[in-house]
Amino acid sequence: MDCGREPDGKRSAELGVCPAAESTAFNGLYKGKNAGRACWLVAGTFCNSRVQGSFAKKRTSCKGCRFYQQIHGEEGTTGLDLGFAMIAAHTHVGTAKDANEDRYLVKPLMDNTILLVLADGLGGDVFGDYAAEIACGKFAGVDCAPQGREETLLVNLIRTIDLAIHDLAENDSELRGMGSTLVCVLLRKGRAYWAHVGDSRLYVHTGGELKRATRDQMLSRFLLEEGEITAEQARTHYSRNVLDQYLGCGHVEPETGYLDLDTVDILLLATDGLHRQISKKGIQTLLSTPQSLEAKAQALVRAAIDAGGKDNITVVLTAVQEEDAEAT
């Protein structure tokens, strides 16, 4: 995409030149010499005001980059009409973080399927944003989803990403400990196939009620299922804040499922910056309001911030539309 932040770009005087766009290694790709190079679309970057996400692998963290820091001082909303689905996403760095380690990707595939990906980088100073970038980068290479093998496709990709991040961290002490959560959806008309790792969540708002599709993969859940602690102990046990599964652990066990969708159902992908600050009832109330999908995404993030949201906060909403609303 032509982001306008390439050398001599239409927004370079206002926003500066993206360091990735200065490289000549990708000349000739996409729109030519001054566009579409190695530039990654980080959450909070507005490259054409319609499509937003992150899907280009980079070598290290962006945290020391002035351009990156400037972009993450912004708050961003993306809206996209893809015919049988309307999509809106919103991201915010939060009130206490210097950088946004959340990444998301929205990609219409060649077989009339929509891919939604949300990753929350882990590790703090150990470059969790890099792990989240790798995850979205791998998913960006998907062009179609074979019918009947949707969950298999997602699981295989997740396992590949897990090993890729794990191997990078093992071979570079600077990256050791980095990781990412992940929740992803392949959306076909009437059905959403999902997979997840960690504690980023998928919900569906249907019939005026909010239902949670995923279960957080926390150590407390594992210990409870193994009989090591009781349900009462799990409420206060230290393990309730420790991830049992994440991309980069090297032995990931993703969970999968699917949802049958009706017209006007809304899917919500959210990082823990949202669901740790707002109750299920609070999310349901905001999604039930008669406002645009983009306004709902903004309202969710704003409510999390108002509730003290120190962490990065990102939501991706998808509203199923009538078939006659499909673009030809």
3-state secondary structure of 287: helix
**32 assigned to some structural domain:** no
Contact call for residues 308 and 37 (beta carbons, < 8 A): no
Give me the CATH number covering residue 232.
3.60.40.10
Q: Residue 247 pLDDT more than 90? A: yes
How do residues 160-175 score in pLDDT, each as one tens digit? 999 999 999 899 888 8
Question: What would the mean pLDDT of 83-101 be, rounded to a whole number?
Answer: 85
Rounded to an integer, what distance in angstroms lies between the CA atom of residue 296 and that of residue 51? 18
- The single-letter code of the amino acid at 101 is E
What Cα–Cα distance (Å) separates residue 144 from each residue in 84, 86, 111, 135?
Answer: 17, 20, 6, 17
Tally of CB atoms within 10 A around 235 = 10
Question: What would the mean pLDDT of 254-266 be, rounded to a whole number?
Answer: 94
Per-residue confidence (pLDDT) for residue 289, from 0 to 100: 93
Rounded to an integer, what distance in angstroms lies between the CA atom of residue 149 and that of residue 153? 6
Per-residue confidence (pLDDT) for residue 231, from 0 to 100: 75
Q: Lowest mean pLDDT: which of 91-100, 186-195, 288-297?
A: 91-100
**15 assigned to some structural domain:** no
How do residues 34-91 score in pLDDT, each as one tens digit? 333 334 443 333 343 333 343 334 445 555 555 555 555 555 667 778 888 999 988 8
pLDDT band of 103, cuts 50, 70, 90: confident
* Domain extent at residue 281: 40-325
Rounded to an integer, what distance in angstroms lies between the CA atom of residue 247 and that of residue 166? 8
HSE of 243 in the Cβ direction (CA atoms, 13 Å)?
24
Question: What would the mean pLDDT of 266-291 be, rounded to a whole number?
Answer: 95
How do residues 138-191 score in pLDDT, each as one tens digit? 888 888 999 999 999 999 999 999 999 999 989 988 888 899 999 999 999 889
**24 assigned to some structural domain:** no
Counted domains in the chain: 1
H-helix segments, 141-271: 150-171, 219-225, 231-234
